[in-house]
Amino acid sequence: MLDLQRRAYPMPKVMILDRTGRRMHAVAIMAFILLRTCRHPYFPTVTGRCMSALFTHHQRAADPDQHREYTRYLAQQMGPLIHALMLLGVLAYVIATVAGTLFGVSMLPLPLRLLPILPLLLVAAATRRVERPWLLSLLTLLCVLLLEIGINFNGIGHVQGQPWIMPGLLLPVATSVIWLGSWDFAIAMALCAFGPLPMLLLRSTHGVYVVQYLVYMAIAIALSAVLRAFVTHILFEQYRLERRLREQANTDGLTGLLLRNRFLELARLALADICREQKPVCMLFLDADHFKQLNDDHGHAAGDAALVALAATLRAQTRATDLIGRIGGEEFALLLPGLNLTQASQRAEQLRLAVHSIPRPDGMLTVSIGIAECSHPGEVVETLLARADQAMRRAKNGGRDRIVNA
């Protein structure tokens, strides 16, 4: 009866593999799983979104000035994290090196294996004082290079099968979120991928270990790319939100011009630089004539439309270096760097004539303008603005639609 059962249901043959065969079998299984995962219909969608998020922040920040501002923002946000990770990497390297010495698994002397520690500490200390994003990226890449050199030092002389290669697999994931751009991320992943190869090749490692390392490293780099994609997306959205909040706090919602406090803050900085360079500078103070009558007779909607048109005219008549702010309801101020009183008077006349093209229900819009030139290097912006305001008051009392110098 037993023989009949064995013939009907024969036992499967068990294939006995040696140690190398088992590793090859494991690598084949991992490659098969990775291939099946990539062929899953949901995988390209997720990967595509992650890779799109990895690079779209450069497309969104296509404006060069905005891109530079965003890069500086990343450097400020990532600077403390980069410094902390460097110190943690140095500590981990020291512990791993000392542990390798205690267990006697390395042929190289301890001083040689501790050689990368001093430059690592110097690089970590330099990151605290660095403000330029590109220099911060270069220092971080140098730290990764030094760690890869240390991994090779500690890996030389290890017996086959010992996992000193594993720390090299941690670097891509551990550093995935600290790179400021795509170029330093690509260089870092290349360093992480090819850094341990000299150790593997110099000690005549079996091909199985090399294949196994490449598979693990490919998974680590893919995971790093996904992590960086999500972190980059979150940081860019945070940057845009903070920038929007700053703009709302610093600009007038109706005209889009600077509010009084922000105008004075920027004018104070600009005035200090201009006085240091011993260049002329003038302040213009404008006030729309009979504006209260416009609001009372035709409503605030007509007044708002006139203010929007006036702000657009001021922007069209000024240079990129000029500052424009809305000081009060219908009062505006302009800081004109590099212009003396005569040149500022000519610019004010152009503005006065350009405002005549703005219609209002009861006629054309006019403005009264006061001009004040910085009299001495130590004059503060509040005093300069007050003198321009007094000149504007005299223009009002003199009949409006005119220019008066302080």
Which residue ranges form the domains of the chain, and what is each CATH number?
19-248 (no CATH), 260-405 (3.30.70.270)
Distance, in Å, from the CA atom of 207 to the CA atom of 27, rounded to the nearest integer, reads 11
User: CB count, 10 Å around CB of 398?
Assistant: 12
- What was the pLDDT predicted at 157? 58
Helices (H) and strands (E) in the chain, counts: 16, 7
- What was the pLDDT predicted at 355? 93
Paired tokens of 196:
């341990």
Q: 205: phi > 0 → left, psi -120 to 50 → alpha, else beta; which?
A: beta
Bridge partners for 283 per DSSP: 335, 372
- What was the pLDDT predicted at 8? 43
- What was the pLDDT predicted at 105? 58
Beta strands across the sheet bearing 331-337: 323-326, 331-337, 281-288, 367-373, 403-405
- The set of catalytic residues is 330
**For every one of its 406 residues, what pLDDT tens digit does the chain have, with 9 covering 90 and above?**
444 444 444 444 434 445 445 444 444 444 444 444 444 444 444 444 444 444 444 444 456 777 788 888 888 888 898 999 999 989 988 888 887 777 765 667 888 888 899 999 999 999 988 888 899 999 999 999 998 888 888 776 554 544 555 667 788 888 888 888 889 999 999 998 888 777 767 665 566 777 777 888 888 899 999 998 888 888 888 888 888 888 788 888 889 899 999 999 999 988 888 888 888 999 999 999 998 888 888 898 999 999 999 999 999 988 888 999 999 889 999 999 999 999 999 999 999 999 999 988 888 999 999 999 987 877 889 999 999 999 999 999 988 899 999 8
Q: Contact 149/116 with Cβ under 8 angstroms?
A: yes
Distance, in Å, from the CA atom of 334 to the CA atom of 355, rounded to the nearest integer, reads 15
Phi and psi at residue 282, to the nearest 5°: -130, 155
- What was the pLDDT predicted at 158? 55
- What was the pLDDT predicted at 296? 86
Helix intervals (H) in 251-318: 260-276, 291-298, 300-316
Residue 78 carries which side chain, given as an amino acid letter?
M
Q: Apex CA 329: angle with CA 373 and CA 345, to 5°? A: 25
